[in-house]
Amino acid sequence: MTFYNNNNFSESKIESKFYALRTEEHLRACKELTPAQRDICYYLKTLDPDGDWLGFNLDDIAKPLGLSKRTVSYALKVLDLLGWIEFKKVTGHRRISINH
C-alpha cells in the first residue's frame, strides 16, 4: 500500500490510532452518501484519524474495498463537493484531507 502521511510517524504509531465515529456523523452519512461513498469515507477516516493529508493512488482504495477505480474516482469527487473530504491533485499525485 502506498499511503503516506505528512507526519513522519512510524508504522506502529499509525496503526495504533483510531477514528471515533459519532452517531450524528453516521446518520448524516447514511442520508447524504451512497454505500460506496460512505465506505470510502469511513475507510479514509480510519487511515487518517487526525485529518492530515494522505497521498494515494486509486488502487490503494479500490482493492481493499472491492470497488472499481472508476467508482472510487467518482466517489472522491462527490465527497469533496459535499465537504466530507478535501481532494487535490498535485503534480500528478492525489492528496486527501479528511474533514471532521
**For the chain, which domains are there?**
36-100 (1.10.10.10)
Residue in 21, 10, 11, 94 with CA at minimum distance from that of residue 53: 94
How many CB atoms within 10 Å of residue 3? 15
- Share of residues in the chain with pLDDT > 90 (%): 41
Query: Residue range 77-89: average pLDDT?
Result: 89
What's the order of all strands across the beta sheet hosting 4-5?
A: 4-5, 53-56, 93-98, 85-90
pLDDT above 50 (res 8):
no
What's this model's pTM, rounded to 2 decimal places? 0.73
pLDDT above 70 (res 58):
yes
pLDDT at site 16: 52
pLDDT tens-digit readout, 28-40: 999 999 999 999 9
